[in-house]
Chains A and B, each alone.
Chain A
Amino acid sequence: MEPIHEITLTVDGEQTTRRVTARRSLADFLREDLGLTGTHVGCEQGVCGACTVRFNGEQIRACLMFAVQADGARVDTVEGLTETGDLTRLQEAFHRNNALQCGFCTPGMLIAASDLLIRNPDPDREEIRAGLSGNYCRCTGYHAIVDAVAEAAQNGKEAEQ
Chain B
Amino acid sequence: MSEKPPLSVLDRPNSYIGRSVPRPNARRLLAGRGQYPTDMVLPRMVHVAFARSPFAHARIRSIDTEAARAAPGVVAVATGADIARLCKPWVGTLDHFAGMKSPPQYPLAMEKATWQGEPVVAVVAESRAEAEDALELLDIDYEELTPVTDPETALDPATPVIHEDLGDNLCFSSRVDAGDVDAAFADADLVVEEEFHFPRHTGVTLEPRVITADYDPSEERLTAYHGSQTPYQMQDVYARHLGLAEENVRVLCKDLGGAFGIKLHVHGEEMTTCALSMMLGRPVKWVADRLESFVSDIHARDHRVRARMAVTAEGRIVGFDVDDLTGVGPYSVFPRTSAVEGNQVIKLVGAPYAIEHYRAALKVVLQNKNVMSQYRAVGHPIAFAVTESLVDKAAAELDMDPVAIRRANYVPDDAYPYKTASGMAYEQLSLQQSLDRLVEFIDYEGLRREQAQLREKGVYRGIGLGTFVEITAPGAAFYGVGGARISAQDGCSMKLEPSGRVQLAISINELGQGTETIVAQVAATELGVSMEDIRVTTGDTGSTPYGGAAWASRAAAIGSEATVRAARALRENILEVAGAVLQEAPADLDIRDGQIVGRESGEERLSVAEVGRVGYFRPDTLPPDFHPQLSVVRHYAPQGLPFAFTNGIHASYVEVDVETGGVTLLKHWVVEDCGRVLNPKLVEEQARGGVAQGIGMALFEECLYSEEGQLTNASLADYLVPLSSELPDIHVTHVETPTQYSEIGAKGAGEAGTAASPGAIMNAVNDALRPLGARVSAMPMTPERILTALGRI
- Residues in chain A within 8 A of chain B (CB atoms): 1, 21, 23, 31-32, 35-45, 47-48, 50, 77-79, 82, 91, 94-96, 98, 100-107, 110, 125, 128-130, 132-133, 135-146
Interchain nearest-CB distance for B23 vs A (Å): 6
Query: B592 in the interface, Cβ–Cβ < 8 Å?
Result: no
| A23-B129, A47-B716, A102-B511 given; A142·B727 CB < 8 A | yes
6 more CB-based (< 8 A) A-B contacts, given A48-B716, A104-B258: A42-B257, A78-B31, A95-B27, A102-B255, A136-B721, A141-B689
- Residues in chain B within 8 A of chain A (CB atoms): 22-23, 26-27, 29-34, 36, 38-39, 41, 72, 129, 203-208, 255-260, 289-290, 511-514, 681-682, 685, 688-693, 695, 715-717, 721, 723-727, 729-730, 753
Closest to A135 in B: B724
* Neighbouring A residues of B26 by C-beta, 8 Å: 94-95, 98, 100, 103
* Contact assessment for B33 and A38 in the assembled complex, using a CB-CB cutoff below 8 Å: yes
* Contact assessment for B258 and A102 in the assembled complex, using a CB-CB cutoff below 8 Å: yes
How distant is the Cα of A8 from the Cα of B730 in the complex, in angstroms?
47
Closest to B721 in A: A136
Closest to B72 in A: A1
How distant is the Cα of A95 from the Cα of B16 in the complex, in angstroms?
18
Interchain nearest-CB distance for A117 vs B (Å): 15
* Neighbouring A residues of B290 by C-beta, 8 Å: 42-45
* Contact assessment for B206 and A42 in the assembled complex, using a CB-CB cutoff below 8 Å: yes
Interchain nearest-CB distance for A84 vs B (Å): 12
Closest to B35 in A: A37
How distant is the Cα of A103 from the Cα of B725 in the complex, in angstroms?
20
* Contact assessment for B724 and A142 in the assembled complex, using a CB-CB cutoff below 8 Å: yes
> B31's contact among A82, A133, A141, A144, by CB below 8 Å, is which?
A82
How distant is the Cα of A43 from the Cα of B289 in the complex, in angstroms?
7
* Contact assessment for B685 and A146 in the assembled complex, using a CB-CB cutoff below 8 Å: no
* Contact assessment for B721 and A138 in the assembled complex, using a CB-CB cutoff below 8 Å: yes
Closest to A50 in B: B206
Chain B interface mostly: loop
Chain A interface mostly: loop
Interchain nearest-CB distance for A53 vs B (Å): 10
Closest to A83 in B: B31
Can you offer 15 A-B residue contacts whose CB atoms are under 8 A? A37-B38, A38-B32, A39-B32, A40-B36, A42-B207, A94-B30, A98-B685, A100-B26, A103-B29, A103-B30, A133-B724, A136-B723, A140-B692, A143-B688, A144-B685
| A23-B129, A45-B717, A132-B724 given; A104·B36 CB < 8 A | yes
> A138's contact among B30, B33, B204, B730, by CB below 8 Å, is which?
B204
* Contact assessment for B206 and A133 in the assembled complex, using a CB-CB cutoff below 8 Å: no
| A44-B289, A100-B29 given; A140·B729 CB < 8 A | no
* Neighbouring A residues of B730 by C-beta, 8 Å: 141, 143
* Contact assessment for B206 and A48 in the assembled complex, using a CB-CB cutoff below 8 Å: yes
* Contact assessment for B257 and A102 in the assembled complex, using a CB-CB cutoff below 8 Å: yes
* Contact assessment for A98 and B289 in the assembled complex, using a CB-CB cutoff below 8 Å: no
* Contact assessment for A101 and B32 in the assembled complex, using a CB-CB cutoff below 8 Å: no
Give the one of B31, B203, B729 with max A CB within 10 A.
Answer: B31
Give the one of B30, B39, B208, B688 with max A CB within 10 A.
Answer: B30
> A106's contact among B30, B693, B729, by CB below 8 Å, is which?
B30
Interchain nearest-CB distance for A152 vs B (Å): 12
* Neighbouring B residues of A145 by C-beta, 8 Å: 724
Give the one of A32, A38, A102 with max B CB within 10 A.
Answer: A102
* Contact assessment for B32 and A78 in the assembled complex, using a CB-CB cutoff below 8 Å: yes
Interchain nearest-CB distance for A76 vs B (Å): 11
* Contact assessment for B32 and A141 in the assembled complex, using a CB-CB cutoff below 8 Å: no
How distant is the Cα of A110 from the Cα of B27 in the complex, in angstroms?
13
* Neighbouring A residues of B259 by C-beta, 8 Å: 102
* Contact assessment for B724 and A77 in the assembled complex, using a CB-CB cutoff below 8 Å: no
Closest to A149 in B: B724
How distant is the Cα of A145 from the Cα of B692 in the complex, in angstroms?
13
* Neighbouring A residues of B715 by C-beta, 8 Å: 43, 45, 47
How distant is the Cα of A100 from the Cα of B692 in the complex, in angstroms?
14
Cβ-closest 7 pairs across A and B: A38-B32, A103-B29, A104-B257, A101-B512, A141-B692, A78-B32, A102-B512
How distant is the Cα of A45 from the Cα of B208 in the complex, in angstroms?
14
* Neighbouring A residues of B257 by C-beta, 8 Å: 40, 42, 102-104
